[in-house]
Structure 1
């Protein structure tokens, strides 16, 4: 036989447990009370209490009309009173037992009804969570419980659920923007390649110079697609992961990066300068820290070197090693700072595309540094350049 659905609920089970516990204690109390009362019955000795003289009472001859040749037994008045008292006590105990059992039954019913109502009130936040969760979908994450009540476990549960939904909403929104931006970024070079091919098809006999231009355009856009796909793969492969770290000398790392980017800096008329202590060491993944610093310096040369100089420096702050890159260019607008590490975000979209950037450089830096147990920050004022900082755990106490 299948039980009704309501009997499977937590509310019903809580009611049964509370009522059963109260009923057990109630029965135990009544049983103990009745046993104690019966064991503690007073011994009534009316002869001693009433001081009735110890007179020997004799049977008397009964009247003829009441008894023929018989006797009517006559007993002591004290015995009569004593028997009446014992009978009265027995009746009182029986009534006590009856009323006690009735009270226990009434208590069981009242506790069941009251427990069901109270458990319903106490479990209301859980019911609200269930209702909100059933209404949530990937396209509608705006619902919240917004529970108002005492700071108890249920309030914390409701607040935790609201926080989780807020994080999910933010994650879905970032994913939506990422898909849109990625689609747009991929569509741009593909459209350029397609347009170039269509132009070439219109000329059945292109000149060697035109062929070279077509091939150069296709090559450039293909390289851009390759770079974009590699950046996307790198970004997604380390999202939410933690990298193994080892001591890395930041000065030697900075020298390697500046040496790699020296030709680019020379073409742009930018001077690269280093300002790092010789023994500054951080716990990091060597390859990914190299990629992070390379992205920052490359970004500073291309977009922030209006002042003709880029400085790569480092310092020790407590238990952190700080690696920073400073440029003296136009800076970053204040309204753009909160989104500077977002995927595909560009302060100047047209200039970034002309430079061949994928729009993922700073996002990759932020994700890789986070995976190494650090964080990345930026400080900037329009017209005064920008400073990017990579903060990582220091490898020693020097």
Structure 2
């Protein structure tokens, strides 16, 4: 009967299979502070060793260095009296012995100095590296305190204008941009949820009234459909406005040379049918060749938003004037209507987002939205300014000022009066 074979593992093969546990170093040895300390101490130790080694070699090569190897006996006399025998050596032997003792003392002194330098440099390196890395710890603490919903923390590092200060300023600038981006995102969501609530409620109410009421006739259903159509049109216009203001907040835009008068003319073509339908006269006074650096579609939309308000508010049979021209170092385009005008107290707030203006005749809210806020945003993103000139009962004039390319005088303020 055969014995079952037993597979034997050698001690060497078993050792190979066992995982090798490396000793774990303390946590501080993995820090930049520790590495800087070791680097500083090592450089100082090597420099000191080179200096002491150079001195030792110079002393060693200045002459022979060895103990006294050959001595002589001599008779010693004090005056004429014989004292006894003494051991003497030649002068060269004595000088070599002195050099030998000096080298021995220098070696012992060098070892002591190197040990002291090593210990002192480690302590000084640890302290100095800690002071040098203090701004980094401030940056790390600030970054740890920042939350996704709160980007208000800033480093605001003080001290000399060095690389770490530049790093802290760069991080603060990045946080500013992130904070602005998140703020714009929250504002977009808040605006959308606030403004879409009303048309959605209108759609829901009309649909419920038609679908649940069995006795509703054809006319009621037609009115419900018209109500839903108006609500969806309002929603579409609102979404387009929100997308426009969000897109203009983007950091990178394809700006190029464009004709301001051409953008205004395209906006006039877009609103001409609606103005004719309401019995309004659309008058154009556009000077061609007004070149600005900007986004053609954005500027066309700005003029279009002004025309949209004018067509909606101007009484039938009145005139709307769209003009463009140049005044010194500034290019301009303007929209003037003969509508109800805007109260003096409201003119400073008319460009706010979703601000509702009080009617000058009925006292009720007469319009609201993002239109004028988008106009101001587009103009300011092109380095321009928007002005309003209005009187109650006489109409309003909105002027969009843009700095002319290669302006000579460099005037930072446009003219204070309306150009038309």
TM range (shorter): 0.7 to 0.9
Task: Identify the residue that residue 182 of structure 2 maps to in structure 1.
Answer: 172
The structure-2 alpha-carbon separation of the partners of 1:19 and 1:202, relative to structure 1 and needing over 3 Å to count, comes to same
The structure-2 alpha-carbon separation of the partners of 1:256 and 1:84, relative to structure 1 and needing over 3 Å to count, comes to closer
Task: Identify the residue that residue 418 of structure 2 maps to in structure 1.
Answer: none
- Per mean C-alpha deviation after superposition, the further-off stretch among 2-11 and 80-89 is 80-89
Which structure features the higher share of helix residues? 1
1:104 lines up with 2:114 in the alignment: yes
The structure-2 alpha-carbon separation of the partners of 1:300 and 1:86, relative to structure 1 and needing over 3 Å to count, comes to farther
Give the deviation of 1:190 after TM superposition.
0.5
Give the deviation of 1:221 after TM superposition.
0.7
Give the deviation of 1:235 after TM superposition.
4.8
Normalising by structure 2, we get a TM-score of 0.71
The one of 359, 374, 382 equivalent to 1:363 is 374
The one of 55, 61, 65 equivalent to 1:33 is 55
Instruction: Give the root-mean-square deviation of aligned CA atoms.
Output: 4.1
- 1:33-182 pair list within 5 angstroms: 33-41=55-63, 79-182=89-192
- 1:216-255 pair list within 5 angstroms: 216-236=226-246, 239-240=249-250, 242-244=252-254, 247-255=257-265
Normalising by structure 1, we get a TM-score of 0.74
Give the distance between the partners of 1:163 and 1:26, measured in 2 at CA: 44
Give the distance between the partners of 1:238 and 1:301, measured in 2 at CA: 25
The structure-2 alpha-carbon separation of the partners of 1:9 and 1:364, relative to structure 1 and needing over 3 Å to count, comes to farther
1:16 lines up with 2:25 in the alignment: no
The structure-2 alpha-carbon separation of the partners of 1:38 and 1:382, relative to structure 1 and needing over 3 Å to count, comes to farther
Task: Identify the residue that residue 331 of structure 2 maps to in structure 1.
Answer: 322
How far does the alpha carbon of each residue in 1:253-308 deviate from its partner, in whole angstroms, 9 at most, with x for none?
43332243234445667664444433223455544443333223324544699996
The one of 332, 343, 349 equivalent to 1:336 is 349
Give the deviation of 1:164 after TM superposition.
2.9
Larger relative contact order, structure 1 or 2 (CA cutoff 8 Å, min sep 6):
1
Give the distance between the partners of 1:149 and 1:286, measured in 2 at CA: 46
Residues 135 and 157 of structure 2 are in contact (CA less than 8 Å); yes or no, is this contact kept in structure 1?
A: yes
Give the distance between the partners of 2:155 and 2:406, measured in 1 at CA: 45
Q: Which runs of 5+ in 2 are unaligned?
A: 1-21, 66-71, 76-83, 409-420
Residues 64 and 96 of structure 2 are in contact (CA less than 8 Å); yes or no, is this contact kept in structure 1?
A: no
The structure-2 alpha-carbon separation of the partners of 1:353 and 1:211, relative to structure 1 and needing over 3 Å to count, comes to farther
- Per mean C-alpha deviation after superposition, the further-off stretch among 283-292 and 153-162 is 283-292
The structure-2 alpha-carbon separation of the partners of 1:376 and 1:346, relative to structure 1 and needing over 3 Å to count, comes to farther
Give the deviation of 1:376 after TM superposition.
4.3
1:378 lines up with 2:416 in the alignment: no
Tell me the secondary structure at the aligned position of residue 324 of structure 2. strand
Q: Which runs of 5+ in 1 are unaligned?
A: 44-56, 61-71
Between the two proteins, the alignment pairs up a number of residues equal to 361
Give the distance between the partners of 2:272 and 2:192, measured in 1 at CA: 31
Residues 264 and 333 of structure 2 are in contact (CA less than 8 Å); yes or no, is this contact kept in structure 1?
A: no
